[in-house]
Structure 1
Amino acid sequence: MTAAFVAAVAALVPLVQAMQPDAVPPLPAPMRPLQWGQINFLHTTDTHGWHAGHLQESQYSADWGDYVSFADHMRRHADEEGVDLLLVDTGDRVEGNGLYDASTPKGQYTYDIFKQQDIDIICSGNHELYQADTADREHHLTVPNFAGHYLASNLDYIDPVTGKQVPMSEQRYRTFQTKHQKLDVVAFGFLFNFTGNAKNSVVQPVQETVQEPWFQHAISKEPADLFVVVGHVGARMGELRAIYQAIRVVNPDTPIAIFAGHAHVRDAVHFDDRAVAIASGRYFETIGWMSVTGIEHGKAKDVQSAAPVKFARRYIDNNLLGLYYHSGTNATTFPTDHGQNVTATITAARADLDLETPYGCAPQNYWLQRRPYNHPSSVFSLLRKHVLPEAIVREDRADVPRMVIINTGAIRFDIFQGAFTRDTTYIVSPFISLVHYIPNVPYALARQVLTILNSQGPILSAMAAEAAIESTGSLSGAMDWREMGVPEQYSMSKDDNPISNHFNGDDTAYQKPLFGRKSAIASDDTNSDAYDDTARPPLVAGYTTWDDFGLDGDDAIHEPLPHFRLPNCIQADVNYPTATGEPETVDLVFFDFIQRFVLMALSYAERSIGAAAPDGTAYKHYTGADVETYLEDKFTDYFASWVKKNWGDECAK
């Protein structure tokens, strides 16, 4: 950081109490207390650069400096009670917010901001690996920032100078004894079986990793009163089950605390009476809490124990009033010097990046999943009807009929009515999404692509794996079809409400709310005074989580929100003939991220409708050689230009 930037931070410190100055104030809500145990955990995951907090959402408007202060108070309480508190993070710290994405190089400030929190166990997510330069920064910045605490159980890095493959971090696992309870902990840090990583990283499949001699040594020879698994893996994904089962073969009785990520949901999974996983949401909306009680110190692995183990969990809203409540502080006693300095650093970084520069004024809210994808208030309706037809235009082919297909996973958040700023562009679409196309594709083939992308995902993944093995001899680069959609749909919900991306052409499949099914007010562990309907303030809309332990996991009682399924992809049809609606050929336009799946969908369409067109002409088999650049810049730039042109310079005062 420059001397001028440091001076700016120092000048801001006296002005900052907590949160960011542009953040909306927090609103009160009825609260459930935390349940402390022998060993307690605070968990963050999938923060994606949101370390300034949610400036437009009152229930999540605290920032990373406030989390630093909160953790300091919680550690002090643990010390006073003689119990242990550990902090864990399960990856995806990058891509998704201007604080990370707007700088050159990316993350110019966020790596230093994030490291201000003292984290005991940390691992990588898939977003740390998509781009080679991001993987480089993970190895050269994040790993040393958390030296001794960063675990890379199944992740390697390829040194660009030597070409040598080495662990992303020197530690595959970590053993340590806790401060107060003197519990022996064996900890691992995993990533799901990710195949879309850059070529300077290597992800070993989890099922292979658990057979490695070092892993078998760790679970059989190291003293362990508790196993801790941190993983950028959905709580209900098979990779976590494989790790759990491998540990259980050797340790049938040892408690296992698992911390999940990637799926962007609040969830807790009961593996058995002595093994539980918690997932703690996304975008720094949530700070997860898990406590474990009943752990026996020094028990031999082959000695069965009848002592019960109790797990408790909470999903803490990243809300200052809630942080005061849980830490026993108030507006005066809560901020620490360290936390205030971090908050001031974030403020100065946002100013240096001009994140509050207005591009326009959104006339209404456009929701990612609070409305069906084809609803007028859905961000995807805005894209399909306006942004894609009007902004994704190649001037020399502007009059050519075209299909523009984007994957829903490329859009990451809601658009709120009011100021649409430089920050908003990265919040809504942070990725380096380049626009490619195949010119003059027969309409009979092209019209099949969207349906195949939305309904034949497993087939496309199998085709991707086959193609990758044929070309490289490994699965490297063979995307999972679920990567096209939003991460929330990686998660599998209760059996009566499965989440699936299979789309059979029936739009009603996407009209049913997924979450917020019941009120979560009823609870056995709450203060009944907090639930007096006549005394409590109106509820703020937010998470109403239903997990394996019931409906009482959220610390704040919310008005439930609807949450709708999304297809993998959406499509805008442009310049179709008004008379027939069916052109002979189209320019098939798509994001580079889904290119391999578009090519496979074309191949699948060719086989499914026949090898020849109605006139007997053989359909072309499309490959990467047929793909061309449609526009030079990334989608985010064109979206920002559209906003500037269509939504005015700034909001009315």
Structure 2
Amino acid sequence: MKLLLVTLLLICVLGAPMSGTLRIWQTSDIHGWVDAHPHQHMTEGLADFLGLVETEKGMIDDDEATEFLLLDSGDQVQGTGFSDATDIDGSFIFAMMKHLPYDGMTVGNHELGLPDTVKMLHDHASDLFTESDLYVTTNTIWGSNKGESQEDMKPLGQTRYRTMTLKKFDMKVIIFGWIYNFDHDIADAYVADAVETINSDWFKAVIEKEKPDFVINLNHIATSDPQNNNIYLAQRALMPDTPLLLLTGHSHQFRHANCIAADGSTDPQCFMSEPMCYLYMFVEMDLHFTRASGKWQWADLPSHKSVSAYTSSFTRAVGGAEFETQQSKAMQAEVDQMNRELRLDHVLGCSDKKYSRTTAPYGPDKESSFLYFFFKVMEKIVYVTPAPATPTVSLLNRGLLRANMYAGQVTTGDLYTIIPFPDDFYLLTLTGAELKMLLDLNYHPDPAQPVERESRVDELAFSANYAELPHYMLSISPKDIDVAQQYNVVCTKYDSAVFVHHLNLVGPSKPGYAVVLYQHKIDPQDALKEYLVQYMTC
């Protein structure tokens, strides 16, 4: 009898695969981009991506040594008319993403900033997703009781974690979904601290119960954010040998990084990856596993590459195979129909040139700067007339403009991609000295900490390089600020909260600063639309 049991055990062990490859395709920060990028001549949209995924999965299904997962790291909505011109932001985007065979998705900050979208994700998840545990929100919690125990917390999404078994390898996988410590108010939900969650008895019990061979974290957290490595360290303390993958998002950059262990060394069983945004590209990653002593380990750190949304790149990704499918054609027909229903191709006006959002509004190239152009929109459309005795200036976040404006026809669809976020204008009345204090935020972005140096505004080295543009841009040159002059400062509601908080910490009149709704009640998107119609006819 003992001999029989030993024989059966040997058969099971020897018959189990000892190596295998997991191919992962990762998207993040799609922001409603379902219909390609015609201005950049990137012709492949979400429907084409569906065809590509179906083609790839078909090939991998026939490969006994390879498995495939499709995963997304959040911010599915806000950024195009397909998302933002619908009754509920993102309803059409989730309907389109439902066509794709995702194995895991998580939430981003842009979903959380939209009350109707938050409610839709929670109340109608069964209509939005093909499986009951696909949308994973481990630390984004439904309800308002921030004091409840981890055991009592309910997810905003469908589940706080998801498990699956890769059948070709008999590998147990667990998926978590994290977001950074989002401190803005969320309708009917809140964010629990990720590391505190991992250190909780609830999380430890999950790991003990599921005993995963491999952990995937869908992190709507920028790769450069130290919180990712803190998540890794907390998980590594519980799982000393388990491979950990952090699929990051939020920064809109193509990035990858190693995980740094507590002793400062690189962990060979942990990796981070981020795939840029707007479906400009996705990340393809191959993870080569080997099994020894019953444990799965990476043979080496994951090999990864970006695949851009060009036909040639998509074709190469599947070895030259045709990737248009019946399902992808049907999906594209849905996208085209919605484009007509929303009138996104309606022409508002014509631009004489390309206006670049990455060019500074000061200096020799200012005529090509979209910010410089938009400051003229502010003067013509937003500012009240006649001009009051106190001069009016604009202080705008460079992120207000999310896309360039290109030469030729400018459509309603372009308008939504340029300024996707509706936000009222607010007014601060400040001295020039106080205005310079706000510009100091370009050097010390944490308003909770005082600025311990004199203003360096006059030393700004403005550059056409977007990475070097200051975060907050003024409609007049900072050198022309009169510190004794009083100014009416127009800004968006979102930025006004940052400005007031900063001034109430460091300003001479602290804590007496406040903003009021600007008397001309128009948002940036409508202001640009009105300017196009009035001054840029075709």
* TM-aligned CA distance change 1:262 to 1:295, over 3 Å: farther
TM-score w.r.t. length of structure 2:
0.85
Alpha-carbon separation, structure 1, partners of 2:58 and 2:117: 35
> What is the aligned counterpart of 2:421 among 427, 431, 440?
431
Q: Output the amino acid matched with 2:169.
A: Q
**2:73 touches 2:106 (CA, 8 Å); kept in 1?**
yes
> What is the aligned counterpart of 1:603 among 500, 504, 507?
504
Partner of 2:36: 53
Partner of 1:630: 519
Alpha-carbon separation, structure 2, partners of 1:81 and 1:638: 55
Shift in Å, 1:594: 1.2
* TM-aligned CA distance change 1:85 to 1:367, over 3 Å: same
TM-score w.r.t. length of structure 1:
0.71
Partner of 2:463: 511
Q: Output the amino acid matched with 2:471.
A: N
**2:350 touches 2:408 (CA, 8 Å); kept in 1?**
yes
Q: Which runs of 5+ in 1 are unaligned?
A: 1-35, 464-480, 482-501, 514-562, 608-618
1:226 equivalent to 2:115? Answer no
* TM-aligned CA distance change 1:506 to 1:71, over 3 Å: farther
> What is the aligned counterpart of 2:193 among 196, 200, 205?
205
Shift in Å, 1:282: 0.6
**2:448 touches 2:502 (CA, 8 Å); kept in 1?**
no
1:316 equivalent to 2:307? Answer yes
Alpha-carbon separation, structure 2, partners of 1:633 and 1:165: 40
1:178-577 to 2 correspondences below 5 Å: 178-271=166-259, 272-296=267-291, 299=294, 308-329=299-320, 333-369=322-358, 371-372=359-360, 374=362, 375-376=365-366, 377-384=368-375, 386-395=376-385, 400-438=390-428, 441-458=429-446, 460-462=447-449, 504-505=456-457, 509-511=461-463, 513=465, 563-573=466-476
1:591 equivalent to 2:492? Answer yes
Kindly indicate whether structure 1 or structure 2 has the higher relative contact order, using CA contacts under 8 Å at least 6 residues apart.
1
Higher strand content, 1 or 2: 2
Partner of 2:109: 126
- Tell me how large the CA RMSD over aligned residues is: 3.0
Matched position secondary structure for 1:248: helix
* TM-aligned CA distance change 1:179 to 1:378, over 3 Å: farther
Alpha-carbon separation, structure 2, partners of 1:178 and 1:240: 26
Shift in Å, 1:388: 2.2
Shift in Å, 1:341: 0.8
Shift in Å, 1:396: 6.5
Alpha-carbon separation, structure 2, partners of 1:295 and 1:124: 32
**1:49 touches 1:283 (CA, 8 Å); kept in 2?**
yes
Matched position secondary structure for 1:313: strand
* TM-aligned CA distance change 1:425 to 1:600, over 3 Å: same
Alpha-carbon separation, structure 2, partners of 1:269 and 1:223: 26
Q: Deviations over 1:573-603 (max 9, x none)?
A: 49x9x9x967843222211001222213433
**1:184 touches 1:297 (CA, 8 Å); kept in 2?**
no
Partner of 1:85: 68
Alpha-carbon separation, structure 1, partners of 2:255 and 2:399: 20
Matched position secondary structure for 2:274: strand
1:67 equivalent to 2:49? Answer yes
Matched position secondary structure for 2:521: strand
Q: Deviations over 1:219-244 (max 9, x none)?
A: 34422221111110111212211111
Partner of 2:262: none
**2:31 touches 2:77 (CA, 8 Å); kept in 1?**
yes
Shift in Å, 1:183: 1.4
Alpha-carbon separation, structure 2, partners of 1:253 and 1:414: 47
Partner of 2:13: none
Q: Output the amino acid matched with 2:401.
A: I
Q: Output the amino acid matched with 2:69.
A: L
Q: Which runs of 5+ in 2 are unaligned?
A: 1-18, 260-266
Alpha-carbon separation, structure 1, partners of 2:311 and 2:20: 24
**1:45 touches 1:91 (CA, 8 Å); kept in 2?**
yes
Q: Deviations over 1:506-557 (max 9, x none)?
A: 65644385xxxxxxxxxxxxxxxxxxxxxxxxxxxxxxxxxxxxxxxxxxxx
Identity across matched positions, percent: 20
Alpha-carbon separation, structure 2, partners of 1:52 and 1:406: 29
The structure 1 segments of at least 4 consecutive aligned residues displaced by more than 6 Å after TM superposition are 580-583
Shift in Å, 1:209: 1.4
* TM-aligned CA distance change 1:343 to 1:288, over 3 Å: same
> What is the aligned counterpart of 1:111 among 83, 94, 103?
94
* TM-aligned CA distance change 1:128 to 1:295, over 3 Å: farther
